[in-house]
Amino acid sequence: MSLNGATEGQGIGLIAGNGQLPLLFAQALPGYRIVAVGHTGETDPRLAALVTSFCWVRLGQFQKILDFFLQHHVKWVVMAGGITKARIWQVRPDFLALKMVLSLVHRHDDLLLRSAAAILEQHGLQLKSVTDFVPELLAPAGLLSQRQPTAVEWADIRFGWWAAKELGRLDIGQGVVVRQKMVIAVEAMEGTDAMIMRAGPLAVGKGWADDGGGVVVKVAKPMQDRRLDLPTIGPNTIKKMVDAGLQVLAVEAGGAILLEPEQTRSLVDRHHLVLLGCRAEEMERQPTSS
């Protein structure tokens, strides 16, 4: 039996961050030898019981990660889950991590992740995407909610798509919150949930010409390495939107991960929100002024 070139006898290395994605990845591959490293203070401890071999590391212990994978004869490596960005540059890196950081022109997310991928590949480890092994995690195209967007919301979705792609082109973030073709908030190092909660008081309430709410748009960066850091949404995203009073969530179909889709869609419909998977080719044909 094989899966995308990996057999049950070959080790799949998992570099686990926070959130549900590392757990869902491990649960989706029963019978496969998963060798995982979890980051102290970030990774859910329950992951250890779901994998074949497990090791805790501190942020910045990249040599320890590499040694652990080589010791367990890992061939493929997957990165799953986020790291609290505010902590990334507050660590004490080991020699290998320091060498990686010093080689960077700047400290943008993509360069850091690509540098890590290059070091893994120099040692014979092949970096793969979570969705190479579990493609069903990719958000599908089309309307994923009972409620459809209004004409005003559609205009904001299209404008937000353009704004989010431009934000990604600068390697700042993957999401924006928009209302009436005005950018209310952008995602930077604080992450999506914090962006949503910050946007709520600005996008909802008195002073707007209609009774709607804000639109959240999440997309892959234009030069996104699909093995690394795809936009991810799930039930917690919807809960944050409800708390903030935002009404619409549009993601890039095939370019974003949708966690626990049944629960996510149930929450969306319960609160009469809109969830939409947008195809890049269709959105880019739409004029932002429509």
Same domain, 126 and 153: no
What does the pLDDT look like over 170-193, one tens digit per residue?
888 899 999 999 999 999 878 899
Structure tokens at 74: 């890992």
Q: Residue 8, Cβ neighbours under 10 Å: how many?
A: 13
Q: Is the pTM of this model over 0.85?
A: no
DSSP strand pairing (74-80 vs 126-128): parallel
Burial zone of 92 (CB within 10 Å; 0-12 exposed, 13-18 middle, 19+ buried): exposed
Does some domain include residue 40? Answer: yes
Burial zone of 181 (CB within 10 Å; 0-12 exposed, 13-18 middle, 19+ buried): middle
Residue 11 confidence (pLDDT): 86
Same domain, 99 and 86: yes
Residue 264 belongs to what domain range?
138-283
Does some domain include residue 228? Answer: yes
Q: In which element (H, E) is residue 261 found?
A: helix 261-270
Q: Mean pLDDT throughout 223-233?
A: 80
Same domain, 127 and 150: no
Same domain, 121 and 254: no
Kindly indicate the confidence band of residue 229, based on its pLDDT and cuts at 50, 70 and 90: confident
Instruction: Give the residue from 114, 135, 156 where a domain finishes.
Output: 135
Beta-strand runs (E) in 72-207: 74-80, 126-128, 142-143, 175-179, 182-186
Same domain, 250 and 130: no
Same domain, 164 and 30: no
Same domain, 92 and 144: no
Does some domain include residue 290? Answer: no
Residue 233 confidence (pLDDT): 94
- CATH number of the domain within which 29 lies: 3.40.50.20
Does some domain include residue 162? Answer: yes
Range of weakest confidence among 83-87, 124-128, 163-167, 236-240 = 83-87
Nearest 5°: CA angle at 210, between 190 and 159? Answer: 50
Residue 105 confidence (pLDDT): 42
Structure tokens at 125: 């480890």
Same domain, 275 and 155: yes
- CATH number of the domain within which 222 lies: 3.40.140.80
Residue 184 confidence (pLDDT): 94
Instruction: Give the residue from 112, 135, 158 where a domain finishes.
Output: 135
Q: What span, in angstroms and rounded, lies between the C-alpha atoms of 237 and 222?
A: 23
What does the pLDDT look like over 133-165, one tens digit per residue?
999 999 999 999 999 999 999 999 999 999 999
Same domain, 55 and 169: no
Same domain, 128 and 159: no
Q: How many domains does the chain have?
A: 2
Same domain, 143 and 203: yes
What does the pLDDT look like over 9-63, one tens digit per residue?
568 999 999 999 999 999 999 889 999 999 998 999 999 999 999 999 988 888 8
What does the pLDDT look like over 71-108, one tens digit per residue?
999 999 999 988 765 555 556 666 566 555 555 444 45
Same domain, 176 and 117: no
Higher pLDDT among residues 205 and 284, named by residue: 284
Q: Residue 213, Cβ neighbours under 10 Å: how many?
A: 23
Does some domain include residue 288? Answer: no
Instruction: Give the residue from 106, 135, 164 where a domain finishes.
Output: 135
Nearest to 268 by CA among 285, 249, 288, 283: 249
Does some domain include residue 159? Answer: yes
Does some domain include residue 44? Answer: yes
